[in-house]
Structure 1
């Protein structure tokens, strides 16, 4: 059986690459990580009209193939090591000159290439006329015009890719002239590479020589490991070229190479490829919208209104399905209660699994609605405007504008995850700004914290959930930036670097794209609940169950039941109620004497300052592993303390009826959960990205002390004012 062809999708961010990937693969895709790195790898299957299947790999969005970021390294390594049959380069037709920069680098690498000229509709609206056939003739590769979001031209694109993939032609690198001086040096370096056979089994000699001139750290490292003698010669030649160009032209070879590439692109475009119908100074729809949405006065107000609208939408429309799921897990608990005999297995299933994991899964509708709203903002291009507007604010606090996207990815709008937020800091060139960002991204309200915040706002701030969540989000941003400023004034002193970013055009999101993005993120949340949280819930259940009561205390409660049986009660109900009280005291005492209960009690001396009792402490300790566990552990703790099936309630109802809980304690706990130590996986990522475990330890220690201080302040002031 013939192996399916593999097509790699490459392109700039915001060029429509992900839209095309979703259109090609639909639900037939899966997400993982590239080996050895945490950059996301998406792959899927596409079936051609004749029934032939092909594998589609969505490479990380990148502007070039020079190793300035991990995404660029990953994309380049995949191309040269995996050697896909065809590389489909998605190019924004409305911004052709900049997008073709990556195209030229792909051609210089020699990959079998097809250009997917995307957003032809946007280009047409802007008065840009393109001749795909002329561009194809000049570059020597197929060029297919498409509109990915509307599905136009995709069948033609895949048919052309299939034809090219079946040819199995050798890679033919494009040779661009970089001027007499550089071309002469490149030829000399090529000879050295060929004589020493340096990495020629993977790269073309000219491409390798160019990477040495561009001071590509990855290639230099590989060359040094392969042949130290040849690498030393090449590094010396590159250093000589650098000195020569600094003296003669006051520039570096890599800058000259970039200029020459853009010169090559301009010469191509001027040969009948591109023409303008309208005045180039004309304002287009995107520009007119930006005059309002990014206005210095109106922009921030609109941004806050959109954020508040997102929370209103989420809590309004998720309320009913959340109640349905809560009822479903309550029904499952009742079934297990009736069907299973008393014992550890029954306790594990009801308290550990159903009440624990069910408490987390019960918030899936809320998470799904939140992710859908964020997908709308992201796919429409508005989130990029949020980053643009916040750039000036971030510089005030010593951060880089790119930090905004790391915060947003971590849950700055709510519902993200701190792990990819930490990874997003790799784009920051300044180490100080990078460390300040990755140490504070965990303050954002990620998807793991949402169930805790949603539960407590629903119970203690009913009818005001959207407003409370909105204010908590503003608090998260404020605290993150203030803490970042503290870091930048103390352990991470240094100047801020300038920020330049691309604002993509506004687009109407496609329903299919929104559903795919929503499902991907929701499914990740569900999988985490079904694996990591299930495992942690079982471990915590065991810690909350064993060692249990001593023989003497077992005998004491048994004697209490026997005594109750001998007493006079007016009715059977009164006797049952008396026995239920004894059972509840026994269950609570058993939980208190368990390993987790003893830990909770030992912390209660300090935690009482913030209003946290020993049950709450158990949940918060579990949250060090994963924040979702806070809810599941609370559910388990209260479930183990409640043994009367007739009186069993949801966790929300239990907390609402518990005299130990009040709005002040709930607010203190929400703030503590928002800001205390990141989950363990995030801490590992911080340590790995920062290059030292001391930064991971700092994130755990500082965040926890800071969060507890804020919780104590809120609780003490609130109780003093009589708000509890």
Structure 2
């Protein structure tokens, strides 16, 4: 099977092209040894199957972030048969900088000149024939969002695969070219993971990875040391030469209007990203999203899943009884499995609706504006707007949110972003919020959910400020980010993004949550002879032992205590365990009634604060260990959110009690 790699700048339409090429034949995993997301898919053409690898979006192929390392290592070491370089036709100068680096590496390149429709709106004219001749590689015009040019791109790609990569010779001036030759000669005798010519070039750019590779090569180190001692630094000269090469090409191949065209995107951004209106509009949009989530997900769709689970429980119980199943098995299936997992699944409609609206905001290009809008706020706490992107990703799941911090080049920014990301309310916490909102705030669900998310963001910013002044002092890096044009959301893209997150939630309910519930069910019915789900059971005794810790926060019951304990395995387990310990409740209405009888409005608010902020799930802790390569920071992530959550929950409850709530 031949392999095609997709490479391009962020927001160039690379992922859209990947989805068009592969359709539903795609899967997501991690690159070997790292947690950067790996997307692979395949398509058939004339009976042959082609494997497509979507590499992380990157502006260059340096070694300053793991995304860059993953992309370039796959191209050089993975040796794909062809590299499709997706280039944004509206920002061709910046995009072609990456193209020059691909050509330097000797990759078999074909350029997909994407978003040609948007270039036409800006009255940008590009001669693909002249561009192809100048670069020495095929250039195909595409509009991936409309599936235009895809057939021609596939035909050209298949044709390029059968050819050897063209040897395109770059010149960086006599002095630099001679130094490349000198280093190539010194590297010839060594066993190297990369081509010597390309390594020589990267060494002159002071590439961190290349410098570490030659650390034990004395002759190479001495030569580089001599250059440094003579105050010779070629890094900026090489960058300048690349841009000069790109500028020369664009002058010959690209024609732009004398005056820049003011697009619809520009007009909208004058309002949505303005200093005066940007933040209030962002808040209003998110508030509307939460309100619509409740109106559609709860009022309109909410009852169907609950009715289905209730009916399923009745059918299964009848079947088990008719088969003469022992009481313990009936109890486990009905009260443990259906009562626990079912209590989580009843909230699938709300989660589906929320992810649907967030996917629309992402697909239109608005979420990139959210990061830009938040730049001023982020700088006030010692970070920059790009950090907010990883926080937004954390709304889906904190694991990819933490992984998204890899795009941050500054170590200080990255460490702070990792430590505050768990305060972003992931989808797993939603069932907890929703069941308590249904119990105590049914008429103000959207507002309460909005306030919970806002509190999470506020606490993240507060801790970021504290960390930037204490644990991670130093300057934050510059914020450079491209704002993509506004686009009509693609129905297929929105549905795919929504379904991926919902399906992940359902899988966790059927695996992790089931495992947790099964273990806790056993503890809730032992020792033999005690009343199941009672305080005398092993589970009840564990909860009773923990409960005094939470008494000052107003929810010092053994049921609440064991549910929070289970939530460290997976946050969905909090609701699953509450559903189980309240005598196998599986229907949402019954669980709501049970919670109303065990909490007051004030203790419910305190409990929500606790679940928002306390120790993240085991998967997040493991990811922190991988990303920081430190057990110390993983342990820190276990302890500090718990302490912070407990303190705030106690403050909320105690002050509320003093005020008579």
Please state which band the TM-score falls in when normalised by the shorter chain: over 0.9
Q: 1:99 aligns with which of 95, 99, 123?
A: 95
Q: 2:259 aligns with which of 265, 271, 280?
A: 280
Structure number with greater Rg is 1
Q: 1:270 aligns with which of 231, 251, 261?
A: 251
Matched, 1:324 2:304: yes
Give the secondary-structure state (helix, strand or coil) at the position aligned to 2:355: helix
Q: 2:564 aligns with which of 617, 620, 623?
A: 620
Aligned to 1:18: 15
Q: Give how far 1:215 is off.
A: 1.9
Q: Distance in 2 between matches of 1:205 and 1:606?
A: 62
Q: Distance in 1 between matches of 2:44 and 2:588?
A: 47
Q: 1:670 aligns with which of 608, 628, 634?
A: 608
Aligned to 1:587: 532
CA offsets 1:629-649 (integer angstroms, 9 cap, x no match): 101111111134xxxxxxx67
Map 1:542-691 to 2 at 5 A: 542-549=522-529, 586-588=531-533, 591-612=534-555, 613-640=557-584, 650-656=587-593, 658-691=596-629
Q: Distance in 2 between matches of 1:351 and 1:223?
A: 62
Q: 2:289 aligns with which of 303, 310, 315?
A: 310
Map 1:240-639 to 2 at 5 A: 240-244=226-230, 246=232, 252-271=233-252, 273-276=253-256, 278-319=257-298, 320-340=300-320, 341-411=325-395, 416-549=396-529, 586-588=531-533, 591-612=534-555, 613-639=557-583
Q: Give how far 1:35 is off.
A: 0.8
Matched pairs, number: 654
Q: Give how far 1:214 is off.
A: 1.6
Q: Distance in 2 between matches of 1:243 and 1:543?
A: 69
Q: Which runs of 5+ in 1 are unaligned?
A: 247-251, 551-585, 641-647
Q: Give how far 1:493 is off.
A: 2.7
Q: Give how far 1:151 is off.
A: 0.6
Conserved in 2, the CA contact under 8 Å of 1:375 and 1:518? yes
Q: Distance in 2 between matches of 1:111 and 1:465?
A: 54
Q: Give how far 1:166 is off.
A: 2.8
Q: Distance in 1 between matches of 2:401 and 2:636?
A: 18
Give the secondary-structure state (helix, strand or coil) at the position aligned to 1:6: strand
Q: Give how far 1:681 is off.
A: 1.5
Aligned to 1:583: none
Aligned to 1:557: none
Q: Distance in 1 between matches of 2:302 and 2:38?
A: 32
Q: 2:122 aligns with which of 114, 121, 126?
A: 126
Give the secondary-structure state (helix, strand or coil) at the position aligned to 2:85: strand
Q: Distance in 1 between matches of 2:168 and 2:527?
A: 72
CA offsets 1:667-686 (integer angstroms, 9 cap, x no match): 11111000001111211222
Q: Give how far 1:399 is off.
A: 2.0
Conserved in 1, the CA contact under 8 Å of 2:180 and 2:200? yes
Give the secondary-structure state (helix, strand or coil) at the position aligned to 2:583: helix
Matched, 1:181 2:162: no
Larger RCO, structure (CA 8 Å, separation 6 or more): 2
Relative to structure 1, is the Cα distance of residues 117 and 686 closer, same or farther in structure 2, using a 3 angstrom cutoff? same
Conserved in 1, the CA contact under 8 Å of 2:28 and 2:39? yes
Q: Distance in 1 between matches of 2:310 and 2:229?
A: 74
Q: Give how far 1:383 is off.
A: 0.8
CA offsets 1:262-312 (integer angstroms, 9 cap, x no match): 1011111122x1011x33344222222111110101111111111111112
Map 1:16-55 to 2 at 5 A: 16-48=13-45, 50-55=46-51
Q: Give how far 1:243 is off.
A: 4.5
Q: Give how far 1:240 is off.
A: 3.3
Relative to structure 1, is the Cα distance of residues 345 and 660 closer, same or farther in structure 2, using a 3 angstrom cutoff? same
Give the secondary-structure state (helix, strand or coil) at the position aligned to 2:294: helix
Matched, 1:70 2:66: yes
Aligned to 1:714: 652
Q: Distance in 2 between matches of 1:376 and 1:245?
A: 52
Q: Give how far 1:81 is off.
A: 2.4
| Cα RMSD, aligned residues only | 1.8
Conserved in 2, the CA contact under 8 Å of 1:419 and 1:682? yes
Matched, 1:57 2:57: no
Matched, 1:164 2:160: yes
Q: Distance in 1 between matches of 2:346 and 2:588?
A: 11
Q: Distance in 2 between matches of 1:534 and 1:210?
A: 54
Aligned to 1:219: 210
Q: Give how far 1:539 is off.
A: 1.6
Q: Distance in 2 between matches of 1:453 and 1:659?
A: 17
Q: Distance in 1 between matches of 2:167 and 2:71?
A: 17
Q: Give how far 1:204 is off.
A: 2.8
What TM-score do the two structures reach when normalised by structure 2? 0.95
CA offsets 1:675-706 (integer angstroms, 9 cap, x no match): 00111121122233223222222222121111
Q: Distance in 2 between matches of 1:385 and 1:88?
A: 28
Conserved in 1, the CA contact under 8 Å of 2:363 and 2:489? yes
Give the secondary-structure state (helix, strand or coil) at the position aligned to 2:6: strand
Q: Distance in 2 between matches of 1:342 and 1:428?
A: 57
Give the secondary-structure state (helix, strand or coil) at the position aligned to 2:227: helix
Conserved in 2, the CA contact under 8 Å of 1:109 and 1:203? no
Q: Which runs of 5+ in 2 are unaligned?
A: none
Give the secondary-structure state (helix, strand or coil) at the position aligned to 1:90: strand
Conserved in 2, the CA contact under 8 Å of 1:400 and 1:428? no
CA offsets 1:369-413 (integer angstroms, 9 cap, x no match): 1111111111211111111111111111122322111111111xx
Give the secondary-structure state (helix, strand or coil) at the position aligned to 1:55: strand
Q: Give how far 1:523 is off.
A: 1.8
Conserved in 2, the CA contact under 8 Å of 1:27 and 1:516? no
Q: 1:694 aligns with which of 632, 637, 643?
A: 632
Q: Distance in 1 between matches of 2:297 and 2:220?
A: 62
What TM-score do the two structures reach when normalised by structure 1? 0.87
Q: Distance in 2 between matches of 1:41 and 1:687?
A: 20
Which region of structure 1 is more displaced relative to structure 2, 697-706 or 8-17?
697-706
Give the secondary-structure state (helix, strand or coil) at the position aligned to 2:83: strand
Conserved in 2, the CA contact under 8 Å of 1:300 and 1:389? yes
Q: Give how far 1:548 is off.
A: 4.0
Conserved in 2, the CA contact under 8 Å of 1:185 and 1:241? no
Aligned to 1:572: none
Give the secondary-structure state (helix, strand or coil) at the position aligned to 1:439: helix
Conserved in 2, the CA contact under 8 Å of 1:198 and 1:223? no
Q: Distance in 1 between matches of 2:629 and 2:35?
A: 15
